[in-house]
Structure formats: C-alpha cells, structure tokens
Amino acid sequence: MSGVEITAANGRLPLWRAAWVVARRDFVAILFSRAFIFFLLGPLFPLVVGSLAAGVGGQVQNQILSADVGLAMPTPDVDAMLAAREELAGKLGPAIPPFVVVRRLQPGEDFAAAPLLEGREGQLAAIITGTLDQPTLTAPEANLARWSGTVAYIAATARQEQTLAYPPVGTVAVATSGADQNRGRYGTARTGQVVLFMLIMLLAGMVLSNLVEEKGNKIIEILAAAVPMDAVFMGKLFAMLAISVVGITVWGTAGATLLAIGGRSLEDLASPGVGWPLFLALAAAYFGMGYLLLGAIFLAVGSMAATVREVQTLSMPVTMSQILVFLFASAALTRPGEWVDHAAMVFPLSSPFAMLGHAAMDEAVWPHVLALAWQGACVALFVKLGAGLFRKRVLKSGPQGASRKSRSLVTLVRGLFSKGSAGSA
C-alpha cells in the first residue's frame, strides 16, 4: 500500500488501513442500529426552529438591504428633489425611500434608465428622470405601483408651490433591477447558511459522545493496543461523516419529494451567483469541510469525557461556540468587502458559512478554489492536532499494564483487524 505508514514493533496495522477498518466498524454498527431511525427523525425539530429563524431573518433583511431610488435629472432638479426628500423623510420616516444621484444631466441631455436597472448593478430599485414638472419613474412593475404617488408628492414639494399640485408621473416598467436581484440572492445566501448551520450543528455534535461507552467498558484500550490511536481518531471521524451523508441523502430525498408534491422547486429562490449546479456542489464541499473541522475539535474534546453527564456539561459551550461562529458569518454577509467579511472567509470555522454566502451573492468561482484549498489544509492540521490530544487523553483512561487476559484479548482484536484489512484489500 502506497503512502505514509505508521507501524509499531508489535505488528500494528498501517495507519490508513487501520483507520478504514475502524471507520467501517463504526459505520456498520451505527447504520444497522435501532437508534439510527430516531437519528433520521431528529431534523424535524431543527427544521421547525430553522423556519422560525428564517421568518425573523426575513424581517431583518428588509432593514439590511436598502432599495435606493436613483436621480438622473438636471442639476437644479436633482438638488430640489434631494432637499424635498430630506424634508419629507423627517416627517414620514421609512415611507420615503433613500435617493442617490445617478447623473446630473446637462441641458438637452437624454438618459436611458431602463438598461441601467436591467444591468442589475448596485442597490437601485428605481430611477427618476425627466423634470420636476414631468418626472418619469422607471422601475419593476411592483415598485411602480409602490412609489408613483411618493415621487409625485416629492416632486410637488420640490417645486415649492403654494398649491402643492401633484405633477403627472410617467412610468416605464422593467423586468428586474439590481436591488431585486441582490435581495433575492441574499435570501438564497441566508437560506444556504441556515441549512448548512443546522446540519453541522445536528451532526457534528454527535461525535462528542462517540467514545463514552467504549471508554467505560475499556474497549478503547484494546483498540489502542491493536491499532494506532491516530487511526482510531480518523476512523471514527470519517465514519460519522459517512453516517451524516447517509442521513442528508435521506432528508434531501424526502424534502425534494415534499416540495415536488407541493408544486415548489429551487426556482422559487433567486438563482445564486454561481448557478444552482455549482452552488449545490460547493454546498456539499463546504459541509464536508465544516463537518471535519468541527468534528475533529469535538472528537478531541469528547475524549476528555468519561460519562454521559460530562458530555452533557461539554455540550453547552460547544453549542454556543457553533452559534457564535454562525452569527459571525451571517454578519459578514451583510458587510461585503469589509474586514469582517475577509476575517470570516479566512477564519477556518466560519469560512464554509461565509464562502457559501459568497457563492450565492457573487459570480466569481476562483475564490472558492482558494477557500477549499485553505480549508483542506486546516482540516489536515485540525485532524493532526486533534489526534494528538485524542491519543494523549484516551491513553490515560486506564492502566498501562495489561494482564494475561487483556493480552489475549489484544491478540484476538489484532487478528480481527488483520482479517478485516485483508478482506478490504
């Protein structure tokens, strides 16, 4: 077998072969247990929580993503509209949309508003052109009905006439705008982050209690005598990842079936920047990276617990740490290009969440290649450090000397592992 092999004088299996045997043993034991059925039913409760969180997030989204109205008018009209908007905003508050200056037109200069909006750039939801006497509002159909009256009121205020006669507002409908596109992509990004967080929180936390039973009945000491402890660590970690993939496959199939029955599909969400096929592939890759990063930490921390009560004590700070990482990545999504965004992409534990958000918001692909390479290097480092702590803590779980009965059990386990490795070869 090619690759680096770690062997001992007592004839232990090579590292990767032993890890494969441990992973296969744990995978089969969990997959064919009765508790696995309850494991598959577990996401029903997080789904309810996730739905509530999505509802709250939708309310916050309206405050985070501003829908700007652009001004492309002669300079005196622009200044008058801005002054009128500020005056009315102080009285009416959020009912008056924010104005941004797109262009100050020279006398006789024309401006094409529709191509700019359909280019989906920036946060523009509508553009006002024309003059104070005859303003023209260019926007998607929904925004035309929403803002036509407001524009007429602002233009009338800007004319500073005593009668406050409303000027007629011309309208031009477009298919979409940059603000609509960004709002939809933000919804897709937030949904992806919430789903990724819920899956990792549900699945990675299981490795905390993975060793309690084996440490209690001293099986772990027999394993330690038969195979390298690094192999036990990697085998258990990747076995839990495989179990998680089985669970996600079942949940995804059931969810897709329910959506199809209800006449819903991914088309109900805005298309992510990189497109749905690549977005789903990146979501799977970022789940694997996030699971291995957190799983390596949790398995190492879980090795310190000897009883179920200790696992329950450790679960609280573990859960809180996951929530803090998720909130950090969510905050970075609302501040693109700032230091918070860059920090979330670089910090290993938040990087999968932050990069999945970028996959929904941006079209660029090359940042994901760099991010996956960085996360892969962090996975290798975390697994190495976690295996070291795992080995140090687990080997202290019992006496080092082995009795004659223990030595016979070790010999038996070595024989089982040798047969298992020979069968897998």
What pLDDT, in 10s, does the model give residues 52-89? 555 545 544 544 445 678 888 998 889 999 988 888 88
The lowest-confidence range among 235-249, 251-265, 339-353 is 251-265
Q: Is residue 6 part of a domain?
A: no
Q: What is the mean pLDDT of the chain?
A: 74
Q: Looking at 176, 191, 212, which one is the last position of a domain?
A: 176
> C-alpha distances in angstroms, 77 versus 97, 124, 157?
17, 19, 12
- List, in sequence order, the alpha helices (H) in 262-307: 276-302
Residues 160 and 230 in one domain: no
What is the total count of domains within the chain? 2
Residue 105 sits in the same domain as residue 44: no
Beta bridge pairs of residue 223: none
Q: How far apart are CA 418 and CA 421, in angstroms?
A: 5
Angle of helix 219-226 relative to helix 229-261, nearest 10 degrees, comes to 110
Query: Which of 129, 145, 176 is where one domain is finished?
Result: 176
Q: Are 250 and 130 in a shared domain?
A: no
Domain boundaries, position 272: 15-61+181-424
**Quick one: 396 and 415 in the same domain?**
yes
Is 280 part of a structural domain of the chain?
Answer: yes
Q: Which two tokens stand for residue 189?
A: 């990004």
Quote the pLDDT of residue 402: 42
Rounded Cα gap, residues 361 and 184, in angstroms: 9
Would you say residue 3 lies in a domain?
no
Predicted local distance difference test score (pLDDT) of residue 3: 36
Q: Give me the pLDDT at residue 160, please.
A: 74
Residue with tokens 């290009």: 337
Could you tell me if 417 and 292 lie in one domain?
Answer: yes
Q: Which of 128, 158, 176 is the last residue of a domain?
A: 176
